[in-house]
Structure 1
Amino acid sequence: MADPVHISSEYWLETAKGFLYPVEMSTDKDELLCKPQDNGKATIAGDENKLSEQRSGPEKQVSTSPGITTLTDNTKQFKLSSSQAQATQESEEDMYRDAEEIEREKILLVCGTGSSDFPENRLSVEPEVGIMDYCQEEWRGNTSHAKCIRKGYEAVSQKFISIRRVRGDNYCAIRATLFQALSQATRLPGWLQREDMILLPEKLMDKYGWITQWQLRQKWTSKVENLVDEIKKCLMLLKSKWKHMSEMKMLTEKQAACDELFRSEEDEYKLYEAVKFLMLNTAIELYEDNEKGKEVPMFSWLLFARDTSSNPSQLMKNHLNQLGLTGGLEQVEMFLLAYALQHTIQVYRMYKYNTDEFVTLYPNDPEEAWPVVTLITEDDRHYNVLARMCQETSL
């Protein structure tokens, strides 16, 4: 199995188009994978044999980021080509639900009934299933892409026993990462122990007026005081839940508590608001450090090189505010998530099997003290959770 990829600065420059910026995904359910070619363009590699996708909700892209054109030694800043028009978001098919589930949702909408009336629909992280059982159910085709995916799963099965399917409502990257972090937490992270952490919303909004445009999930408030209070509640909930999980000694008890937390939609989505706000705070710190001439991680340059996020204000407006609504995390934002939570995110990327990018780390030069969470993806858009390492591997 390939070792986790460690990407040099030169490699980043050469592969920024294909690696960091996901190309526009087709709305056709049979055209799920875009492969970057040598010239930086993207072509669709269809796989008509994938029998069923994740059935828990659609994952959508907010936009397509143009390619990088220049990087000077003097400024160390990336500039994006303006010749490529930004793709607009269009209605997409539900790629992670079957026809029966889609039809049932239509009936519920007509009847005015919410999904909360059906407890099985509220499972954000489904129970474990054997990795190869999952693979055989999902990938039975004989195309080269299907064979590549199966080989990837076979390789992963040598290290992990099972997989847990994650609900796909554009929060999947945050959901999978946070679920793993909480389910294996043994202590409250230092950044959550800081006394001024809860005061972060008020502090930032006093300094940056544009943060008052932060959009809470499914509601908006024009009163800054109300917005500050709501975000504070989200941060306090994250701290209390993390503390509660870390104090549990029995792994089974911790896992059961974590499963229950991710069944409670109200608390669950408050946790995501807290994580998103921590991502914004991290982005502001990186941006200001770079403006002051301090050394910043490579991904920070790329994060603010996009036309849609040249500064933290645009990042909030065009990406973080849209996260969970019209789009999920792009790859460069996976780095930001890792830095915000101070966790290394290890991802097995099935379509990259037999390449140096099969196992990718965010960040690629992680701090040794950071805990590691392990996810799996077939397309860099939807993420599932890997569970239970093989005994030989864990030893």
Structure 2
Amino acid sequence: MIESTGLSASAEEKKESVPTQLMKHQNEIGVASEELGSANAPADQKEQTISEITQDCVYRSSGRPEKTDMIKSLVMDQDASRNCALYVPGSSNRSAVESSEESEEDMYRDEEEIEREKILLSETNSSECKLSVSPEMDIMEYCRKEWRGNTPAAKRMRKGYEAVAQKFASIRRIRGDNYCAFRATLFQALSQATQLPRWLQSEDFTMLPENLLSKYDWIKQWQLRQKPGKRMGEIRDEIKKYLILLRQKWKNISEIKGPLEKQEACDELFKNEEEEYSLYEALKFLMLNTAIELYNADKSGKRVPVFSWLLFARDTSSNPCQLMHNHLNHIGHSGGLEQVEMFLLAYALQYTIRVYRLYKYSTDEFITLYPNDPEEDWPVVTLITEDDRHYNIPVRMCQETML
């Protein structure tokens, strides 16, 4: 969601401000995409590390170089962005990582503020902490509650929230359990949906699990939430069920005309834990499908977006099989979305994800678009993050629009 006034100018301005980094690409156009067909196939060996990636051109087959900004800060800071259940001021998950985050707390808050937060946490109702999407709260009231110290970081956060408050009146806090990026993005998309996206209308949509499993045997190692060790047929049927659920829920909510009724339907959906987490499994599988399409397109010499090169430039995801094993299978369990994977999520949903990155206030990365060169007809959802690990959502004073 984003306000309707001044959007085009903002998007154009940010196209050059989003950090981008290019990799020196291999000249192996003739490599067949069938190398993905076995889980035992050796991973592609990258000749360049991410630090060696240059900014020579935007697309492999564009034929002429175009200057872009570096995306290094989005890719290299993987440890910081991996786990969105890490420290968020005032969140219910702080105790789980308290010992490992002491040094970070000292950077952000003074001693008095830390003690106040400990008291606040002990008084928080445990049932409220489990809410997937908390009720609306005035955005500046939320800011004053969370950032009361006089540290430079606290002052920067307050300035960031003041800037967001110029566009949005309220904020809704998202539960931080490593699904926060999925939860925030999907909630925003559904709450403003007015029609079923084209990719959800495809007749082949629910056949994705069967089609992919028939080509790539390694997908049978997909880790279903709380259902490890399933056989290939069971995985296929489970994922198909999740995709059908996603289409059904999206269709039902998009057909609701009244904004209040639509919000109530979204709130009800995100209170149903079984359905909610099934939707996240569907999103992960859509990300895998998108990654496979981009990987094969690049191998055949077709034009691909820059983030695709960066996604497969990592030692841990040099091909879709590794991406599944080392990243997608862990989302929601031991980690959240890394920055480059936010691009993949945006492409899978065909949505522009607009993020206020509060700790980047007063820099040209304060407002980041995923992707930074979105399609004109992609709807926009807006999120807020204080640290690139946990995401909340701004609400009010906004309506569905297009870039």
By relative contact order (CA 8 Å, sep 6+), the higher-ranking structure is 2
**Selected match of 1:21 from 76, 79, 82:** 76
Inter-CA distance 389–52: structure 2 relative to 1 (3 Å threshold): farther
**Length-normalised TM-score, structure 2:** 0.75
May I ask how many residue pairs the two structures share in their alignment?
326
What is the CA–CA distance in structure 2 between the aligned matches of 1:333 and 1:18, rounded to whole Å? 13
Deviations 1:101-143 (A, max 9, x none): 7xx9xxxxxxxxxxxxx75454200010011000000001111
Partner SS, residue 394 of structure 2: strand
User: Percent identity at matched positions?
Assistant: 63
Residue 30 of structure 1 contacts residue 46 of structure 1 at CA under 8 Å; is this kept in 2? Answer: no
What is the CA–CA distance in structure 1 between the aligned matches of 2:388 and 2:15, rounded to whole Å? 18
Query: Unpaired runs of 5+ in structure 1?
Result: 34-43, 56-94, 105-117
2:121 corresponding residue in structure 1: 98
Matched AA of 1:6: K
Matched AA of 2:109: D
* Per-residue deviation, 1:8: 7.6
Matched AA of 1:47: R
Inter-CA distance 295–269: structure 2 relative to 1 (3 Å threshold): same
Inter-CA distance 321–48: structure 2 relative to 1 (3 Å threshold): farther
* Per-residue deviation, 1:350: 0.3
* Per-residue deviation, 1:278: 0.2
Matched AA of 2:362: N
1:65 corresponding residue in structure 2: none
1:109 corresponding residue in structure 2: none
2:94 corresponding residue in structure 1: none
* Per-residue deviation, 1:98: 3.2
What is the CA–CA distance in structure 2 between the aligned matches of 1:50 and 1:323, rounded to whole Å? 35
Tell me how large the CA RMSD over aligned residues is.
Answer: 2.8
Query: Unpaired runs of 5+ in structure 2?
Result: 1-5, 22-54, 56-68, 81-85, 87-96
2:26 corresponding residue in structure 1: none
1:235 lines up with 2:233 in the alignment: no
1:263 lines up with 2:286 in the alignment: no
**Selected match of 1:310 from 297, 309, 318:** 318
What is the CA–CA distance in structure 2 between the aligned matches of 1:137 and 1:287, rounded to whole Å? 45
Inter-CA distance 23–266: structure 2 relative to 1 (3 Å threshold): closer
Partner SS, residue 346 of structure 1: strand
Matched AA of 2:371: P
Residue 196 of structure 2 contacts residue 251 of structure 2 at CA under 8 Å; is this kept in 1? Answer: yes
1:47 lines up with 2:109 in the alignment: yes
Matched AA of 1:273: E
1:167 lines up with 2:163 in the alignment: no
2:222 corresponding residue in structure 1: 214
1:244 lines up with 2:316 in the alignment: no
**Richer in strand (by share):** 1
Residue 177 of structure 1 contacts residue 375 of structure 1 at CA under 8 Å; is this kept in 2? Answer: yes
1:6 corresponding residue in structure 2: 15
Partner SS, residue 185 of structure 1: coil
Higher alpha-carbon deviation: 118-127 or 200-209: 118-127
Higher alpha-carbon deviation: 298-307 or 1-10: 1-10
What is the CA–CA distance in structure 2 between the aligned matches of 1:48 and 1:380, rounded to whole Å? 22
Matched AA of 1:232: K
Residue 181 of structure 2 contacts residue 391 of structure 2 at CA under 8 Å; is this kept in 1? Answer: yes
What is the CA–CA distance in structure 2 between the aligned matches of 1:364 and 1:277, rounded to whole Å? 23
**Length-normalised TM-score, structure 1:** 0.77
What is the CA–CA distance in structure 1 between the aligned matches of 2:386 and 2:224, rounded to whole Å? 30
What is the CA–CA distance in structure 1 between the aligned matches of 2:390 and 2:347, rounded to whole Å? 20
